[in-house]
Structure formats: structure tokens, C-alpha cells
Amino acid sequence: MDNPEPGSLSWRLSTHPITLLCFLGFRIASVLVYIFGLLFTDNYVLVFILTILLLAADFYYLKNIAGRRLVGLRWWNEVVPGSGDSHWVFESAEEGSRTVNKTDHRFFWMALYAVPVAWVALAIVAIVRFKFMWLSCVVIALVLTITNTVAFSRCDKFSQASSIATRALTTGGLAGRLGGAMIGRFFG
């Protein structure tokens, strides 16, 4: 542990250790409170509220803070003024403008994909045990975490596509740099 190799899963290698620890803390705490909450108190309402609040905090933190600080990606929802339809807007840092720490990168994507899988497993457990009150909590968790997972993986795809496009443009000598960050617009 004294000299971990670059990219290994140790929080001390992170460039944003506080962001990373908060991110992992919200993610893991919501699952832990859901599973082990009733061991410490028999108040069903309290555990439910705590889980939901942790899930909401995790959703907000991942979407607005952890995503852009750890891997330089961001997505948000925009409403078309006329029709009221909504579409997602993806934003990614320009290639080369920031270096993404490998440790942050691995932590981010592992947590992004592992937590929804854990909630799916908990949903199956809740169905098998006929705990339909808890199932509603798990459904909320699944909606929130899967939304973030889908959005960030699409955002990553857009980021790679636009960086390939930039490379083609610059090597072809057509245009210089595309100013600012690139926005991939996804209508849907």
C-alpha cells in the first residue's frame, strides 16, 4: 500500500479525493442503509426516508458534481419551449484540455455499473420475500441509478465520437480547434 501502481483502486491516488469519497459514500450508504437499516432500528418509516434521501443525494451528486469532476462528463435534461418535449444534452471536456485520473476513471465506471446491478439483485430478493413496501423503494432506486448509468454511458459515447471527429478535422487540416466544449445533442 505504500506505493500502489497507477490506476489501482486506492483513493489516495485520486486527484479529487473528497469528491471521490463523497460519491462512493452516497452510493454505498444508500445500499447499506436499505439492507442493514432494520438491524439498528425497527422503525420502517425512518429507514425508508433515509434510503430515499440518500438515493436522491447520490443521484444529484453523481449527475452534477462527481461526473464532471472525476471524468469530465455531464448530462442534463432540457425542455423544448414550444412542445414541452424534453431531450438530453451531453457535455464533455475537449480532448486534451483535462487529464482524467485513471483511478478516478475506474472507480467512477465501476460504481456506475455495479450499484444498479446490486439494486436489481435486491429487487429480486424483495419480490421473492413478498416485501412489496420495500419493492417500491427498490423501484425508485433502480429508476434513479439506471437513469444516471444510461445517461453517462451515452455521454461517454458522444465524447468519444466527437473527439474522433476533432482528430479527423485537425489532421485533415480542414479547421483548427473546435472552440469550447462539445455538445452532443440527443433527441429523445
Partner 1 sequence: MSRHHNDFSDPYDQDAIEADLIDPDDAGLDDLEDPLAAPQHTSDRAPLTGNIGASTAQTQSYLNSAVGGEDRRAPQNTLDESVWATLSRDLLAVWEKMRQVLWPKYLLGGAMVPQDGGEGGVRGFGQGLMGVVGRWPDADVVLQGGMSEGLRDWDLWGPLLFCLLLSFLLSRGAQDEQKGVVFSGVFAIVWIGEAVVTFQIKLLGGNISFFQSVCIIGYTLFPLVIAALLSALSLPIIARIPVYIVLVAWSMAAGISILGGSGVVKNRVGIAVYPLLVFYVGLGCLCFIS
d(CA 32, CA 152): 24
The reply to whether 41 sits near partner 1 by the rule CB under 8 A is no
**C-beta separation of 73 from 92 below 8 A:** yes
The reply to whether 180 sits near partner 1 by the rule CB under 8 A is yes
The x, y and z cell numbers of residue 140, run together, are 425508485
The reply to whether 35 sits near partner 1 by the rule CB under 8 A is no
The reply to whether 85 sits near partner 1 by the rule CB under 8 A is yes
The reply to whether 64 sits near partner 1 by the rule CB under 8 A is yes
Find the binder of partner 1 among 89, 100, 118, 142 (CB under 8 A).
89
Measured from the CB of residue 93, what is the shortest distance to partner 1 in angstroms? Answer: 6
Find the binder of partner 1 among 65, 100, 123, 142 (CB under 8 A).
65
The reply to whether 57 sits near partner 1 by the rule CB under 8 A is no
Pick between residue 9 and residue 94 the one whose CB is nearest to partner 1: 94
Measured from the CB of residue 83, what is the shortest distance to partner 1 in angstroms? Answer: 6
The reply to whether 52 sits near partner 1 by the rule CB under 8 A is yes
**C-beta separation of 30 from 51 below 8 A:** yes
Measured from the CB of residue 4, what is the shortest distance to partner 1 in angstroms? Answer: 27
- Report the interhelical angle of 132-172 vs 102-128 (nearest 10°): 150
Residues 6 or more apart from 183 whose CB is under 8 A from it? 89, 90, 91
Measured from the CB of residue 50, what is the shortest distance to partner 1 in angstroms? Answer: 10
Residues at the interface with partner 1 (CB under 8 A): 43-45, 48-49, 52-53, 56, 60, 64-65, 68, 72, 74, 76-79, 81, 83-86, 89, 91, 93, 133, 136, 180-183
